[in-house]
Amino acid sequence: MTNQQTIRVRFAPSPTGYLHVGGLRTALYNFLFARKHGGTFVLRIEDTDRSRHVEGAIENLTATLRWAGLDFDEGPGKEGAFGPYVQSQRLELYRQYANELVDTGSAYPCFCSPEELDTMRQAQMERNERVRYDRRCRSLTPEEVDAKMAEGTSYVIRLKVPMFGDVAVNDIIRGNVTFQLNILDDQVLLKSDGFPTYHLANVVDDHHMQITHIIRGEEWLPSVPKHVLIYQALGWEIPQYAHLPLLLNPDRSKLSKRQGDVAVEDYRARGYLPEALVNYLALLGWSESKDREFYSMPELIEAFSLERVGKSGAVFDLEKLNWMNGQYFRNLPIEQRMELCRPFLEPAGYDIRDENRYRKIIEALTPRIQVPVEAREKAEFFFSKHVPEDETADVFLYSESGQKVVHLLLEKLKDIEDVTAERFSEILADAKSTLGVKGKYLFMPVRLALTGETHGPELPLIAEILGKEECLKRLQEELRA
């Protein structure tokens, strides 16, 4: 491996308006690798596709990375020696290299209009040929080129891909990978509006920013031969590649929006803990040993290595993530759990102004919450009650035995000064021996009458939080003549 001091990696997203969880995993692996080796983690914004421009996307991206704990060393707003870090601010550089590639015979101007290209494509499809640029401008003479330029014909610059041979790289994760050149298209490097394509800008910047390791998703592997040709044509050293395995839906298709949420911002908005999301994503493609699942960021930095990243796709399993988030949530001090749930309860109109009561609510609900957003639904019965009109209610609550339980509880509760969990447990025990009902036939009528639900936290806890008056009121409501 390269000298430890010189390691420089980058996360190079295109600002689409949100950060994909796969992007966060890529950023994380870059970050971990940099931190582990005392290197530099660069954030570079690849925004040369102007049709995809989204207002505020860079700010959103940096805020999301910061939330996840992935602080970059150089990037927008953190100018280092290699800025600017936003490609649309570096256009001159790409033009300069596109021209250099033309001058040295590695690229050529192509004057074909969109209509011509379209006709070419149609014809190729009709002949059942592979659709590709047929390289007709590759053989223009210098005079022909000059003439077209003099006429002001608009043009792009294309890479002159060799007709034969191959390109091989040694990818840290995938090993030796060889690409045949004869199937490659003469890639456009510079568009007619003077903007570079991803390929040119990416290579120029990785070189200029002295990137030593390119760690990115497997979907970029097919770009490697084009990039290698550009590096070679410009006489530049090729960085080390490490292509990360794809993230998959449970049905093993590529992780997509259609099958669930892929935007990190959505997870953040639902109260997921960044530590849990990062921990979970770290394990999607990398593992230190089979039996370890929990890692703090410093532990990840310590344990991470690219050599232990696998080749096969990793399934993004929401249930597993939720489970892990629940583990992190439960380990937090109560004050933090209260803060995390608050934004979901206040807008729902729940009155949580009494801090003491709110604390008890969150304590009671904690074992049933994996993600803070769930608190809204789980806490609802503390603020309103609705007993469903169904068979369960008929059998347990409105039956003769259910009504007896409700009656007895009302009697007992009236007599006591204050409802504590302990006192309520005693009342339940009393009811059991006095009425001779037990199990579901004792608990279900009480639970239904107090909460309208069939599951939830321990009844004595609920009763204490509701308080005497509310318990009496709720029981009273369920009395049938």
Q: How far is the CB of 321 from ligand GLU (least distance, A)?
A: 22
Set 160, 226, 257, 320: catalytic member? 257
Q: Of 10-18, 88-96, 107-115, 404-412, which segment contacts ligand GLU by CB under 6 A?
A: 10-18
Q: Which is nearer to ligand GLU, 201 or 364 (CB)?
A: 201
Rounded CA-CA distance 300/284 in Å is 13
Rounded CA-CA distance 297/393 in Å is 49
Q: Which is nearer to ligand GLU, 45 or 338 (CB)?
A: 45
Q: How far is the CB of 26 from ligand GLU (least distance, A)?
A: 7
Q: How far is the CB of 201 from ligand GLU (least distance, A)?
A: 9
Rounded CA-CA distance 296/276 in Å is 9
Contacts of ligand GLU in 347-406 (CB under 6 A): none
Rounded CA-CA distance 96/205 in Å is 13
CA distance to 215, 247, 248, 267, 425, per residue, from 262 (Å) = 20, 10, 11, 8, 45
Q: Does residue 14 bind ligand GLU (CB under 6 A)? A: yes
Q: Of 7-15, 120-128, 239-247, 392-400, which segment contacts ligand GLU by CB under 6 A?
A: 7-15
Q: How far is the CB of 307 from ligand GLU (least distance, A)?
A: 20
Q: How far is the CB of 243 from ligand GLU (least distance, A)?
A: 10
Contacts of ligand GLU in 57-116 (CB under 6 A): none
Question: Looking at the chain, how many residues does it have?
Answer: 481
Q: How far is the CB of 242 from ligand GLU (least distance, A)?
A: 11
- Residue 344 CB neighbour total at 10 angstroms: 21
Kindly write out the interface string for residues 19-58 of this chain, putting x where it contacts ligand GLU by CB under 6 A and - elsewhere: ---------------------------x------------
Rounded CA-CA distance 38/36 in Å is 6
3-state secondary structure (DSSP) of residue 462: helix
Q: Which is nearer to ligand GLU, 110 or 224 (CB)?
A: 224
Q: Which is nearer to ligand GLU, 202 or 451 (CB)?
A: 202
Q: Which is nearer to ligand GLU, 13 or 372 (CB)?
A: 13
Q: Which is nearer to ligand GLU, 11 or 358 (CB)?
A: 11
Residue pair 54/15 in contact (Cβ under 8 Å)? The answer is yes
Helical (H) or strand (E) element with 166: strand 166-171
Residue pair 307/172 in contact (Cβ under 8 Å)? The answer is yes
Omega of the bond prior to 84 within 30 degrees of 0, cis?
A: yes
Q: Does residue 243 bind ligand GLU (CB under 6 A)? A: no
- Parallel/antiparallel/unpaired status of strands 8-11 and 40-43: parallel
Burial annotation 359-392 (CB, 10 A radius, 16+ → b, else e): bbbbebbbeebbbbbbbbebbbbbeebebeeeee
CA 24 to chain centre: 6
3-state secondary structure (DSSP) of residue 60: helix
- Residue 351 CB neighbour total at 10 angstroms: 11
Q: Which is nearer to ligand GLU, 23 or 271 (CB)?
A: 23
Rounded CA-CA distance 31/176 in Å is 25
Residues ≥6 apart with Cβ < 8 Å to 438: 432
Q: How far is the CB of 125 from ligand GLU (least distance, A)?
A: 29
- How many Cα neighbours within 13 Å face the side chain of 245? 23
Q: How far is the CB of 376 from ligand GLU (least distance, A)?
A: 35
Q: Of 9-17, 240-248, 379-387, 417-425, which segment contacts ligand GLU by CB under 6 A?
A: 9-17
Q: Of 12-20, 254-262, 355-363, 388-396, which segment contacts ligand GLU by CB under 6 A?
A: 12-20
Q: Does residue 13 bind ligand GLU (CB under 6 A)? A: yes
Bridge partners (DSSP) of residue 74 are 42
Q: Which is nearer to ligand GLU, 13 or 274 (CB)?
A: 13
Q: How far is the CB of 85 from ligand GLU (least distance, A)?
A: 13
Burial annotation 415-431 (CB, 10 A radius, 16+ → b, else e): eeeebebebbbebbeeb
Q: Which is nearer to ligand GLU, 82 or 220 (CB)?
A: 220
Contacts of ligand GLU in 176-235 (CB under 6 A): 198, 202, 216, 220
Active site residue 257: yes
Site for ligand GLU (CB under 6 A): how many residues? 8
Residues at the interface with ligand GLU (CB under 6 A)? 12-14, 46, 198, 202, 216, 220
- The catalytic residues are 257
